[in-house]
Structure 1
Amino acid sequence: MKALIESIVTPLVDHPEDIVVKKTEEDAKIVYHLTVHQEDVGKVIGKNGRIAKAIRTVVYAAKTDGNKRIYLDIM
């Protein structure tokens, strides 16, 4: 899942070396924390959050971790 998130975000940003994806697991959910360079945050979120919503849709559709819910947090 980390590779999927990185492959989606890499073409969108100017500083691909600063992309960091961390995974946090809890009882009923898995949270992926996406951190990008400060200048690239707007590019990843997009106008009115459209790009962020599209990224989340793809990540949620690719869910492979059983019954746990997946969340994507963009910082």
Structure 2
Amino acid sequence: MHELILTIVKPLVDFPEDVSVHEVEEDHHISYQLSVNKADIGKIIGKKGRVAKAIRTVVYAAAGSKQHKKIYLEIVE
């Protein structure tokens, strides 16, 4: 899942070297924390959150069939 998120996000940003994903696994869910350069936050969120929603949709669809846990994708600064 980590590689999927990086594959989606890196082409969208100006500073791909600053993109990182951290996985936090708990009992009932897994959180992926996406961190990008401050200048790229707007590109990842998009107008009215449309880009972020699209990224989450792809990640949830890919992980939903493989995992029996709830998946969350957080965008952090």
CA distance in 2, matches of 1:59, 1:48: 19
Any gaps of 5 or more consecutive residues in structure 2? none
TM norm structure 2: 0.94
CA distance in 2, matches of 1:70, 1:62: 10
Count of residue pairs the alignment pairs up: 74
Aligned to 1:74: 75
* Pair 1:9-2:9 in alignment: yes
Q: What is the CA distance between 1:17 and its match in structure 2?
A: 0.1
Provide the C-alpha distance between the structure 2 equivalents of 1:70 and 1:33, rounded to a whole number of angstroms. 11
SS of the counterpart of 2:27?
Answer: coil
Query: Within 1, Cα distance between the matches of 2:2 and 2:47?
Result: 24
Per-residue CA deviation, residues 6-60 of structure 1 (Å, 9 max, x unaligned), is 0000110000000010000010000000000000000000000000000000000
1:1-75 correspondence to structure 2 within 5 Å:
1-63=1-63, 64-65=66-67, 67-75=68-76
Unpaired segments of 5 or more residues in structure 1?
Answer: none
State the alpha-carbon separation in 1 of the partners of residues 53 and 19 from structure 2.
18
**C-alpha RMSD of matched pairs (Å):** 0.5
| Residue identity matched to 1:38 | K
Which runs of at least 4 in structure 1 moved beyond 6 Å after TM superposition?
A: none
